[in-house]
Structures are given as C-alpha cells and as structure tokens.
C-alpha cells in the first residue's frame, strides 16, 4: 500500500480467522470497565486508491472456496479499499454490519470513489474472530454496501495474497476506523463528546477548581509561580508571541544554527553545540540505563507506509509526517516516535511474567512535519532526538509502580538542571477518582502543585499522563519529559506475555520520554537568559575554565596548569589586552576565568573569577576539588575546540 502517487508491493501473510492462541484481556479491563465500554469489535483501514490489485496465492485450511469463474488475480481502478479485521467479540453481526456499511458508503461518497473493495486483513489486531463469524460479518457488510447502491467486491477470506496499491494522497485518502455493535466510533466523534474540567491539585491533596475563562481562579498561585505561567501560556493561550532570546544566543555562542540548504526546522551543530548535545545524550542514557534499569535498542528511522499495520499505527498518533519515495517507487514514512520499531520488536518477542517489568530505552532520531508558522528555534522543530523509555508490565497496579518510578526519576532530572518547570496531568475521571492518592504522592515527591485536566472518558490510548513543562524567559512553556500509562495498545499491537496460568495476556505499557535533546538545550539556554549573567550548568559548559596569561612568557605555565585541573580548559593566547580577554570570556559564558602572572606562579594561589562575578582565591588543590564537586555524577567530555584560542576558526561571524 502506498501514499501519494507511490506504488509498492508487499506479500502479506493473512490467515484470517485464526484465534489468537488463547489471548485474553488482562485484569485492568475489569478494574476499569468504564474506560473500555467502547471495546472494539471490528477494525478497518480505508484507503482511497487510484489502483488496487491483488492475487490469491494459496489457501489456508480455513479458506473460502473461490466462486466459479472467480479469477485469482483482480484489479480495480478508483476504489475505496477497506482493509478489515473482525475481532472475536463481534456477536451482533447485524449491528456491526449497519455501522460498517453506512460509514464506508458515506466515505465512498465523500471521496468520489467508484467502488468498494473489502479486503480481509489480520494485521490490524492480534485478537481475531473465528472463521465462521469473520466470514459472516464480511459477507453481511458486502451485501449491505451493495444494497445501498454501491459497487462492491469482497476479496476471499483465508488466502495468502499479494497486493499492490496506489493511494490518492488527499486529506481523506487514509482513514482508520474502529467499529462496535453499538455505533461507529471514529476519533472525531469520540473527541467531540469528551468534556474536560480543570483543577489544581496541591501536594497535601487539596483540590482547587480552575475556570479557564476566569483568570482570578488562579489567584492561589502567585504571579511568578511556574504553574500559573504555564496555564496562562498553554491552556488559556496568553503567550506573548515574541521570539525567544535563545535563538540569537545559540547562534552567537556558536552552538546551533539554521541550515538553509535543509528543510526548515533542521539545524547544524557547531563543535561546542555538538559537545553539549553529546553530553545531554550521555546523561539521558545514564538515567535510562543506570538509574531506571532499561535495556537499550536501536531501530530504523523509516518504515514502509504500504503496510497497513504501520499506516494504522502511524495514523493513530495524528501527527504530520515526512515521506520518502525510492527509485523502486516505494514510499516510506520517517518515524515521528520510537514506537514503530519498538512495537514490532516486542510483538516478535516471547515474554513471560518472569520478564516483567521489562524496560526498553531507545535514542530515537525522529521527524515531524510541523507547520511552518509553528517552528520556533529549538522549541519546535522538524527533526529531533528523543530519549524514549518504555516499560511493560502485567497489570494496572504494576504499571502504576513503573509510572511512579519514571516520574520520580524525571523529577530528579528536572530539579538537577535548575530549570523552572510546571507539572500538568491529563487523566480520565474514573481513573482519577480511583488513583488520586498516587498522584498526590508524586506531587509530594516533587513538592509542587500540578494542573489536573480531568477527561470525561478516554480519547487516546492512555488513561493518565503527565508532562514536565519548562518555562522559558518569555513566559512561554515547552514540554520536556512525559509519562503515559497506556491501557489499550498492547492488545492492539499484539504485545503479550504468558502469565502464570499459561494464558497470553496484554501488557500495560508506560510510554515515556526524558525529553528531546533539542528542547533541553532550548530550556537550559532560556533559563540562563533569565539571569543577570547567563551561564550553563558547569558540566555542560563547552569551556569550563579559561586561563589568561598576562604575557606570552606565561603560556607554558598555563599549559601545565590546564592539564592538572581535570576540566575543559582553554587558553587565550591572542594579542588582546587582559581586560578584553576577560570580557570575551564573559561573553562566552565561561564558568571560571583565571588570570595567571608572576604573582600566581610564585604563590600557587589563583584568583578565580566565577560567572556570578564573585572572586575566589584558590590553590590548585582547592580548584581541582571544586571542579570535581561541580562535575560529580554527570557525563564528561573533551574540549570541543583547540586549547589555544588563536587556533580556532570563527564559524559564525
């Protein structure tokens, strides 16, 4: 299956109707029955195609007999192709039939398709109905569509088939649907009927109602409170709309810059920026692997968009995506999250309850085709790097433990950076009522209140999620780390484990991200720019110590001293005056500046000018101890440029 003007061939293995090896719903469905009252009965992927061809290769033991005169190869022009999976809970065939046929006919009319092709396809769900029920539903849908005056063809059930498709590529050419015996439940209909209420939850458990149309309802929070800034900016929409000063700062400091030869929202990293990036990447890995205990994987960045399971999964995220067309006329989508490869890997894995909790880390280069007007420096861009951690566990209670484990680690992370941030939760009402105390425990750990958006029912795959939102120097907000408790996707994508009773059950999944590296750079720069003298955390500064000799004769002393400090130390050997050298170091946000002359050489004591403006007289041993204290627990890296400033190129004039 291909996107706009693309043509690709795959040979899917379809054994329609095999039951899913004893797969059962795990107990969280019983605990939260209200959340699952829309349990899906039939899944479909609707593709409006210029051309669709398939060939029935060989039958399985449950295959339908081909009607007399029915050719194994079929070709259709201007068709709405309905890839369909019937699930085992489809008891009311008549009700499902009416919902599916009415919706398909409506879509067919909207897009102007000349005919409908019903194509049985098992890969949209791990929960497959038995052959008799599946065939009964598909035949009934076929007849119902025909009775509504639309030409329809149904591909045979239970055959291994190869197909080729050329998708139209217009906004309605790719639609995913989940049908029940009650009514159709497209995402738009679900979202429309979901209501939200808001409150501020305090660490002591108090709830303060919030009216988003009444700013006075936020009076509990001071004007400078990060949570109030977040609500005003992101929920009420009072952002100032000014350019964040970090854009000019990242360019002037020769960290990051736009690349005009690339697409908008893609950046180049200069040597100093590359160092900061790699240190943050190492820090993320340290948190994920050493602290959280995750195993690291790596998966491809692009996936065949012709495969219905990839397309269905991609469309469920509702993100704008990049596509790439090859010389073979195949179309690939660039991933906008690490879930594509991870879910496929986990579907293929054999898991036991003994393997749980299972934690997986991936440093995911990702792409989202954000609108041009939404692009803002490193705050919102089109190519970014996501350190993602996914945790798989057996039930809601175990999933909550993983959720809280991730929350605490990400809270420690945010606190360690010193950035200003606010916490916001989005949670389904039934879930909030049952697990409010868990959220209160987390807020006690963070020692800060949170905005709680209470949803009347589920509109996504998660029952609860939260974000740590960094506050920039303009009062705007940017999402950093996030955790989502997913109670639906494991069954949908076939990620199951064998429980103690020998039955296969769907996992609970905690999706989480430490936060894109680019956004961490953004918020760290913005936090620095709130200060009178901006600076990066010591462990992230490209130059931690700048040595300034009072004359050329002291260069050897500076070189010897620099090697003893155990830090990123450079030496200003240019012909500028000492005063100008100091001002230059301050403009570069160097953490420590030391002028070395005869007095320092003979006494062994050094005047250390800190970024705060404070002067400290220190011995070499004291300085080494202070550097060690400021760097302890963080990744280290080499100086990204030559030690001598005179040897350095100017990357941005």
Write the CATH number for 113: 3.50.80.10
- Answer yes or no: is 393 within a domain: yes
- 285 DSSP 8-state letter: H
**Do 438 and 508 fall within a single domain?**
yes
Alpha carbon distance 585, 574 (integer Å) = 12
Q: Give the pLDDT score at 373.
A: 79
Positive/negative CA dihedral, 389, 394, 396, 398: negative
* Average per-residue pLDDT for the chain: 87
The encoded tokens of residue 63 equal 């295959």
Cα 316–chain centre separation: 13
Are 178 and 276 members of one domain? no
CATH number at residue 269: 3.30.930.10
Q: Any idea what the Cα angle at residue 112 is, between residues 107 and 115, rounded to 5°?
A: 80
CA 216 – CA 124 distance, rounded (Å)? 48
For residue 308, is it within any domain? no
pLDDT, tens digit, for every residue of 554-604? 999 999 999 999 999 999 999 999 999 999 999 999 999 999 999 999 999
Task: Kindly state whether residue 479 falls inside one of the protein's structural domains.
Answer: yes
Are 106 and 171 members of one domain?
Answer: yes
Q: pLDDT band for position 128 (50/70/90)?
A: confident
The pLDDT tens digits for 72-90 are 899 999 999 999 998 876 4
Q: What is the pLDDT of residue 239?
A: 59
* pLDDT 10s digits, 297-325: 999 999 988 777 777 767 666 567 888 88
Q: Are residues 393 and 503 in the same domain?
A: yes
Does the N-terminal peptide bond of residue 357 adopt cis geometry, omega within 30 degrees of 0?
yes
Task: Summarize the confidence of residues 242-257 as an average pLDDT.
Answer: 94
Quick: pLDDT tens for 478-517.
999 999 999 877 776 789 999 999 999 989 999 999 999 9
Indicate if the pLDDT at residue 4 is higher than 50: no
Predicted confidence at residue 240, as pLDDT, reads: 59
The yes-or-no verdict on residue 627 having pLDDT over 90 is: yes
Q: Which of 158, 193, 228 is the last residue of a domain?
A: 193
Note whether 149 and 230 are same-domain residues. Answer: no
The model carries a pTM of: 0.75
| Greater pLDDT, 8 or 397 | 397
Band of residue 651 on the pLDDT scale cut at 50, 70, 90: very high
In three-state secondary structure terms, 592 is strand
What pLDDT score does 193 carry?
Answer: 73
Average confidence (pLDDT) over 346-365: 95
Q: Taking residues 456-468, what's their average pLDDT?
A: 88
Please indicate, yes or no, whether residues 156 and 255 belong to a single structural domain of this protein.
no
Does 495 share its domain with 607?
A: no
Query: What mean pLDDT comes out for the span 46-51?
Result: 93
269, 378: one domain: yes
Q: Find the mean pLDDT for residues 246-271.
A: 96
Quote the percentage of the chain above a pLDDT of 90. 67
Last residue of a domain, one of 528, 550, 571: 528
Residue among 419, 383, 431 at smallest CA distance from 523: 419
pLDDT at 236: 79
pLDDT value at residue 155: 94
How many C-alpha atoms does 282 have within 13 Å on its Cβ side? 13
The tens digit of pLDDT for each residue in 432-457 reads 999 999 999 999 999 999 999 999 98
Confidence of residue 291 (pLDDT cuts 50, 70, 90): very high
For residue 2, what pLDDT is reported? 35
339 in any annotated domain: no
Give the range of the structural domain holding residue 596, as residue numbers without chain letter.
538-647
pLDDT band, residue 471 (cuts 50/70/90): very high
Domain harbouring 559, CATH code: 3.40.50.800
Same domain, residue pair 181 and 248: no
- Provide the domain count of the chain: 3
Considering the domain architecture, whether residues 557 and 633 belong to the same structural domain is answered as yes
Let me know if residue 414 belongs to a domain.
Answer: yes
Q: For residues 226 and 224, what is the distance between their CA atoms, to the nearest angstrom?
A: 6
511 with 418, same domain: the answer is: yes
Region at 377 (left for phi over 0; alpha for psi -120 to 50; beta for the rest): left
Q: What's the average model confidence in pLDDT over 281-289? A: 96
| Pair 418, 461 in one domain | yes
The 10 Å Cβ neighbour count of residue 496 is 25
Q: Of 457-466, 548-557, 619-628, where does mean pLDDT reach its minimum?
A: 457-466
Spatial separation of the C-alpha atoms in residues 473 and 470, rounded to whole Å: 10
CB 309 within 8 A of CB 343: no
Residue 346 lies in a domain: no
Q: Beta partners for 152? A: 116
pLDDT value of position 123: 85
**pLDDT for 238 beyond 80:** no
pLDDT digits (tens, 9 = 90+) for 6-31: 323 333 322 332 223 333 333 333 33
% of the chain exceeding 70 in pLDDT: 89
Report residue 376 as tokens: 């803002």
pLDDT given for residue 28 in this prediction:
37
| 79 domain residue, yes or no | yes
Assess whether pLDDT exceeds 90 at residue 470.
yes
User: Pick the residue with more confidence: 59 or 30?
Assistant: 59
At which of 193, 216, 232 does a domain end? 193
Q: Give the per-residue pLDDT at 360.
A: 97
**Residue 590 confidence (pLDDT):** 98
Residue 323 in domain? no
């Amino acid at each position: 299956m291909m996107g706009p003007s693309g043509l690709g061939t795959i040979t899917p293995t379809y054994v329609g109707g095999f039951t899913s090896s004893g797969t059962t719903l795990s107990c969280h469905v019983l605990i939260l029955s209200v959340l699952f009252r829309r349990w899906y009965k039939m899944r479909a992927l609707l593709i409006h195609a210029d051309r669709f061809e398939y060939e029935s290769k060989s039958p399985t033991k449950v295959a339908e007999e081909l009607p007399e005169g029915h050719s194994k190869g079929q070709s259709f022009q201007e068709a709405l192709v309905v890839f369909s999976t019937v699930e085992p809970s489809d008891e009311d065939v008549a009700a499902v039939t009416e919902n599916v046929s009415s919706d398909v006919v409506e879509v067919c009319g909207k897009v102007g398709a000349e005919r409908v092709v019903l194509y049985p396809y098992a890969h949209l769900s791990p929960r497959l109905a038995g052959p008799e029920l599946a065939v009964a539903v598909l035949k009934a849908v076929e007849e119902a569509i025909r009775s509504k005056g639309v030409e329809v063809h149904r591909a045979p059930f239970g055959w291994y088939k190869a197909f080729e498709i050329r998708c139209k590529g217009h906004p309605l050419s790719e639609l995913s649907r989940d049908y029940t015996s009650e009514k159709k439940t497209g995402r738009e209909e679900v979202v429309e009927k979901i209501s939200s209420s808001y409150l501020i939850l305090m660490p002591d458990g108090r709830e303060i109602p919030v009216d988003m149309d009444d700013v006075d309802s936020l009076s509990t929070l001071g004007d400078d409170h990060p949570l109030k800034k977040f609500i005003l900016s992101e929920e009420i929409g009072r952002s100032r709309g000014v350019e964040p000063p970090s854009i000019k700062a990242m360019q002037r400091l020769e960290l990051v810059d736009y690349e005009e030869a690339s697409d908008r929202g893609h950046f180049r990293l200069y040597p100093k920026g590359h160092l900061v990036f790699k240190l943050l990447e190492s820090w993320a890995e340290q948190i994920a692997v050493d602290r959280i205990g995750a195993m690291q994987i790596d998966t491809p960045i692009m996936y065949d968009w012709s495969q219905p399971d990839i397309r269905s999964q991609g469309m469920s995220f509702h993100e704008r995506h990049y596509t790439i067309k090859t010389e073979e006329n195949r179309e690939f989508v660039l991933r906008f999250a690490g879930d594509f490869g991870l879910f496929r890997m986990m579907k293929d894995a054999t898991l036991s309850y003994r393997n749980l909790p299972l934690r997986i880390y991936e440093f995911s280069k990702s792409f989202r085709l954000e609108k041009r007007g939404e692009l803002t420096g490193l705050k919102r861009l089109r190519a970014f790097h996501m350190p993602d951690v996914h945790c798989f566990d057996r039930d809601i209670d175990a999933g909550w433990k993983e959720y809280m484990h991730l929350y605490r680690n990400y809270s420690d992370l945010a606190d360690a950076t010193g950035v200003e941030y606010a916490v916001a939760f989005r949670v389904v009402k039934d879930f909030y009522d049952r697990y409010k105390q868990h959220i209160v425990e987390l807020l006690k750990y963070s020692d800060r209140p949170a905005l709680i958006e209470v949803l009347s029912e589920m509109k996504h795959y998660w029952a609860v999620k939260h974000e740590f939102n960094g506050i920039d120097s303009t009062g705007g907000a940017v999402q950093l780390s996030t955790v989502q408790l997913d109670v639906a996707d494991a069954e949908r994508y076939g990620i199951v484990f064998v429980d103690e009773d020998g039955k296969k059950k769907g996992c609970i999944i905690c999706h989480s991200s430490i936060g894109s590296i680019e956004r961490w750079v953004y918020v760290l720069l913005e936090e620095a720019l709130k200060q009178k003298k901006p600076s990066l955390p010591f462990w992230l500064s490209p130059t931690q110590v700048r040595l300034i000799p009072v004359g050329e004769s002291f260069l050897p002393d500076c070189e010897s001293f620099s090697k003893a400090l155990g830090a990123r130390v450079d030496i200003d050997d240019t012909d500028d005056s000492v005063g100008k050298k100091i001002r230059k170091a301050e403009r570069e946000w160097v953490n420590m500046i030391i002028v070395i002359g005869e007095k320092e050489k003979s006494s062994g004591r050094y005047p250390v000018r800190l970024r705060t403006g404070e002067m400290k007289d220190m011995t070499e041993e004291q300085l080494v101890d202070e550097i060690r204290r400021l760097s302890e627990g963080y990744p280290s890296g080499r100086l990204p440029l030559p030690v001598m400033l005179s040897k350095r190129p100017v990357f941005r004039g």
